[in-house]
Amino acid sequence: MTVDAFRALLAQTNLYVYERSVDEAENTVVATVRKDLVKYLAVAGEKSDLFTGEQEGELKLCPLTNENAKALQTLFPYTKPKSHRGHQFTMGLGDRLGLATAGHIRALAGHDIYPVFAQQSIRELNLTHRTFTDVISAATFNVFQEGYKKGFGADGDHLKTKEEIKYALESGCTMVTLDCSEHIDQKAATYPIEKINEMYAALPENVRKHYEETYLNKELPIVGHMDEDELRRVVVVFWDGIAHAIDCFRYIDEIKTVEVDFELSIDETLTITTPTEHFVIGNELHNVGITPISCAPHFSGSFEKGIEYAGNLNDFARDFEVHQKIADFFGYKLSLHSGSDKFAVFSTVARVTKGHVHVKTAGTSWLEAMRVVSEVNPDLYRKAHKFSIEHRPEAERYYHVSTKVADIPNIDLQNDAYLAEYMNMPASRQTVHIAYGMLLEQPWFREEFFRTMAEHEEEYYAALVRHIGKHVRYLTAELSI
């Protein structure tokens, strides 16, 4: 089967063809097509049997299932996620809907940024009722649809246990973001020193001995001298988390079948990560021969979902510079979580890291979908908006947000033309942002939402090019990448 013969076959159907997708391998041609708003792979040629679908003459019409994603990955290896090792600027672009990646691809066009298109946490998987395989398959189909061949990663985000790591890697994830927060005694960061001393004394003797020998009475690079009180606090808070990180890293090494990128995240803690804490963590990993690809400290200021950075920018810049020095010292990148919409810090992030950084975004692409809904299906937006306000206390169980519902202008007093404004206001952005899981569970929302998105996918891609494109522009302006 040649591409020309394949196109001739397609021309006899009433299928809409995604032109950039058409590709050939092993005498087999495949394209993404659409029929009545539903997408399929159209397949013809020698390897058609790899795919499952309805044979219609010489063409086989195959639904976008996980099995057919696997077949696509076999035939076209660029549709399969792989490690981002060696790439300077990497960006996590979570797509909770399975619809956004094509827009993300267009937003990155012309930039040397390696994307991690598949990126979900277990929390997000649960809230969207998806599996890691579903998430990766969606990225695979989007990548194929756009004819994007430069590679992408798949991040099992905020994984906490070996079971979760195993699940992610078996599903094809190429990156593990380990979240040690359950092994970190977060409250101890602010305990009085008497209590720290008591807790420290109760730790195993070999642990205490190891830390004292490694850190006391030494002039440490970057962070200098550590006194006993400071060391005891760091050890009480972090020793178990560090042990867990080492244990999980070794486990990954043991079970992995492909190259896996290991990120250590300590961003979801109660207190900001001090340089000393960061140094000790990096050093403990280094001393046992572990170099993560990236590390996400809890930076100063507040990085809440879906809204601009809040905090003192001078403090952030100073803090970020020291963390960068520590990351350079141990040979990994800094990783910025909840990077969506933090435009005010991007210049600093770019300048300090020189573009050697990982930045994660996710929820903001859901908000852009809701912006499209507010413009093309105002009735659905109104219902979803009210639902989000009503259910915000439940949503706050999963996400910490500080904006107030009282600051959202009453939607009943607004005409349809105004609705998109809600996607520009912090309070309504956060309210709709954290409701995604509950909304997608409502049959009245789910069905009409996905139909609306299918009818208006080009508008959605354009919205993502604008919004994610703004992130990329601010992050790369002075880097020429």
Catalytic residue numbers read 157, 263
- For helices 443-455 and 457-476, the axis angle rounded to 10 degrees is 80
Half-sphere exposure in the Cβ direction for 445 (13 Å, CA): 18
Task: Determine the residue with CB nearest Zn ion.
Answer: 337
Residue type, 29: V
Size of the site for Zn ion (CB under 5 A): 3
Q: Which one of the spans 59-67, 109-117, 218-226, 265-273 is the region binding Zn ion (CB under 5 A)? A: 265-273
Based on the shown chain and the rule CB under 5 A, indicate whether residue 304 belongs to the binding site for Zn ion: no
Q: How far is the CB of 84 from Zn ion (least distance, A)?
A: 17
Packing angle, helices 228-255 and 162-170, rounded to 10: 40
Q: Using only C-alpha atoms, what is the Rg of the chain?
A: 24
Stretch that binds Zn ion, among 37-45, 103-111, 141-149, 260-268 (CB under 5 A): 260-268
In 3D space, the residue among 143, 165, 166 whose CA is nearest the CA of residue 81 turns out to be 143
Q: Which stretch binds Zn ion (CB under 5 A): 101-109, 264-272, 339-347, 440-448?
A: 264-272
**What are the backbone dihedrals phi and psi of residue 364, each rounded to the nearest 5 degrees, phi first?**
-65, -25
Token reading at 258: 């492909």
Check residue 337 for interaction with Zn ion (CB under 5 A): yes
Site string for Zn ion, 213-252 (x = CB under 5 A): ----------------------------------------
Which one of 110-118, 300-308, 329-337, 383-391 is the stretch in contact with Zn ion (CB under 5 A)? 329-337
Give 310's strand partners. 302
Least Å distance, CB 295 to Zn ion, is 11
Compare residues 265 and 276 and give the one whose CB is closer to Zn ion.
265
Site for Zn ion in 347-386 (CB under 5 A): none
**Cα–Cα dist 477/115, whole Å:** 18
Shortest distance, position 236 Cβ to Zn ion, whole Å: 23
Q: Do 376 and 417 touch, CB atoms closer than 8 A?
A: no
In the bound complex, what is the minimum distance in angstroms from residue 296's beta carbon to Zn ion?
6
List the one residue out of 66, 96, 83 whose CA is nearest residue 154. Answer: 83
267: contact with Zn ion by CB under 5 A: yes
Please, which residue, 295 or 440, has the CB nearer to Zn ion?
Answer: 295
CB of 13 to Zn ion, least distance (A): 45
CB atoms within 10 A of CB 299: 23
Residues that bind Zn ion (CB under 5 A): 265, 267, 337
